[in-house]
A and B are shown apart, each in its own frame.
Chain A
């Protein structure tokens, strides 16, 4: 897929050498989420999940430099073991929706979709994300970031990438 056609969507795909049910469990059981969620060096110190549409997963990460970052998924659709749609955001201890700690113009909420597909005993996992209810400025922040990361704005701006590199 050419992601340049849709700069308002961010996509990551990974194939795991594991059955789909197990990958699904890793995302839908809070104890398992604690084992792997978050980048290298981060520890999940809170992991509360109510896996139902309208309910949420609320978590806290302790970063290597000692900060605590809260985040939240509010589930919209749960179709085991293949698909999950939710709204993700930064959060606080009380479960509110908060801004990106480093980026005030970052879209407040992201519509996120997880796809789990069986592929001859393995599992193809895809996450797609796009800004939700974003203002023009927030969308521009997302698109500009995405575009410059992808080296070139929608193909017409290939030279920009070289310039920015």
Chain B
């Protein structure tokens, strides 16, 4: 994914209403009218948010002219999750190595202690 596309993804995610829309879409695809209900927003306002989400690649829209159901696209979020996963792995593996290191030097000190 390009950096531009990622910037669009994060700009889209920065808005709490759009995050709420994604939350709703995580339950399944739905129409603009259905989406507008819980948000106390007009259909055109919801459509505007959907356009931003669509540009960011976070959702896809159906082709039916009247209904155009929106559904979640997992790709961009997976990329972001991957970075956090990298950090987690960085730390877990570092701490595994630290555990080995601490065992090693303590065993060494013990041995030295016995020789005295």
> Taking beta carbons and an 8 Å cutoff, which residues of A are in contact with B?
10, 12, 14, 16-18, 22-23, 26, 32, 35-40, 100, 102-106, 125, 127, 129, 136-146, 148-149, 153, 156-157, 159-160, 163-164
Report B-chain residues with C-beta under 8 Å of the C-beta of A145. 80-85
> Bound complex: CA of A146 vs CA of B97, how far in Å?
24
Are A26 and B98 in touch, CB under 8 angstroms? Answer: yes
Are B27 and A141 in touch, CB under 8 angstroms? Answer: no
Are A16 and B83 in touch, CB under 8 angstroms? Answer: no
Are A164 and B96 in touch, CB under 8 angstroms? Answer: no
B9, B13, B86, B98, most chain A CB atoms within 10 A: B98
Are B84 and A149 in touch, CB under 8 angstroms? Answer: yes
B41 at the interface (CB under 8 A from A): no
Are A157 and B100 in touch, CB under 8 angstroms? Answer: no
Are B96 and A40 in touch, CB under 8 angstroms? Answer: yes
Q: A12-B91, A144-B77 are in contact. Are A18 and B22 (CB under 8 A)?
A: no
Nearest residue, chain B, Cβ from A151: B81
Are A26 and B77 in touch, CB under 8 angstroms? Answer: no
Are B102 and A23 in touch, CB under 8 angstroms? Answer: yes
Q: A10-B84, A16-B98 are in contact. Are A160 and B10 (CB under 8 A)?
A: no
Nearest residue, chain B, Cβ from A125: B95
Are A163 and B94 in touch, CB under 8 angstroms? Answer: no
Q: Mark B42-54, 1 if CB is under 8 A from A, else 0.
A: 0000000000000
Q: A105-B7, A139-B14 are in contact. Are A17 and B94 (CB under 8 A)?
A: no
11 new A-B contacts, CB < 8 A, other than A12-B92, A103-B6, A104-B3, are A16-B99, A18-B106, A32-B101, A36-B97, A38-B93, A103-B83, A104-B7, A136-B14, A141-B13, A145-B83, A164-B78
Q: Mark B29-64, 1 if CB is under 8 A from A, else 0.
A: 000000000000000000000000000000000000
Are B81 and A36 in touch, CB under 8 angstroms? Answer: no
Are A104 and B6 in touch, CB under 8 angstroms? Answer: yes
